[in-house]
Amino acid sequence: MTNLFAFKQEFQDELYVIDAIRRGHVELQRQYNKQLLDLMGKVADSAIHVAIAREGICLEEIKEMNFNDAYERMSQRTTSKYSKYNTIVWMKRFLKARKLFSKKLYHGESLLRESLSKLKIYKTSINELPKSQQYYYLKAIEEMRLVIAETINSSYLMEDNNMIATIEWVLFDGLENRPREMITKDDFLSLLNVNHNVAAQKYINNYISDEMNFRDLAKALFLEKIEDDNHSYFSDMFADHFMNVLHDNKDIKDKLHKDLGLNHIPTYSVKFDEFGDVINIKQNTYTLELIAGGLNEGR
């Protein structure tokens, strides 16, 4: 027979630890998003400086656009010697911080999933208790399970929305009715942590022109991945953008899968229980295509 007092004490202690993990995760997420918001503000301020220098926009116009916060921050600064590359430097800091915070939050989510597994074990062991005692524990487990599940599902870090468009505009002046700007190869490489492997160095030395447009930049970062793997902030940004485009555009995704032959790779549907454990895996069916030729052709 289970010692009810000892079991209750152990159970309550475990719930306290689990809730402390959950509250810590929520607080870290709040702090991380605050830091990312501050960095994004630096990116925005820097881009506005570029607009002021490039377009001749005065600070009073910034104020009239209802960018009062930006007006207050910039009213004490000068833009006469402001470099458009400052925006990219702030952007890199944002991407670096977001990547670091993502890893830390992922670790926190792993701890929360471990907590769900512990709750599942407790739910099983409760069967050994008298029926009159089970309701209290089952209710506490279910309440904590729902709170943890909500915490995991609501985990969120500020996205890098529109950063690719910002890069294109800041570096290459992507406005209509105006010649596009170029950047030098040396300036471009100075913004990156360059990969020093043979393939990356060969591409840098032989295939990157002394002057680059946006297409050259995107190819070097996304296709050739010339950034160091441990500091691939811009490459990851392009990759994330690519995956988001596929996720949001089914027609593009289907066409790409068909062109690459990926539509015939088996896919699976996975079913989970309330604690996040896999309980069923089922292979999905896919539509077969009629290919010209075959045994009956010509009959």
Token pair of 179, please? 């010649």
Cα distance between residue 101 and residue 129, in whole Å: 42
pLDDT at 62: 52
CB of 194 within 8 A of CB of 226?
yes
Whole-Å CA distances, 145 to 120, 134, 140, 179, 245: 9, 16, 8, 58, 34
How much is the average pLDDT of 54-63? 57
Mean of per-residue pLDDT scores for the chain: 84
Query: Band of the pLDDT at 71, cuts 50, 70, 90?
Result: very low
Instruction: State what percent of residues in the chain have pLDDT above 70.
Output: 83
Range in 19-33, 204-218, 281-295 the model is least confident about: 281-295
Using a cut of 0.85, tell me whether the model's pTM lies above it: no
Range in 161-165, 201-205, 236-240, 289-293 the model is least confident about: 289-293
More confident residue, 128 or 211: 211
150 pLDDT above the threshold of 50: yes
90 pLDDT above the threshold of 70: yes
Choose among 13, 21, 282: nearest CA to 151.
21
Ramachandran class of 263: left when φ > 0, alpha when ψ lies in -120 to 50, beta otherwise: alpha
Token pair of 102, please? 């993502």
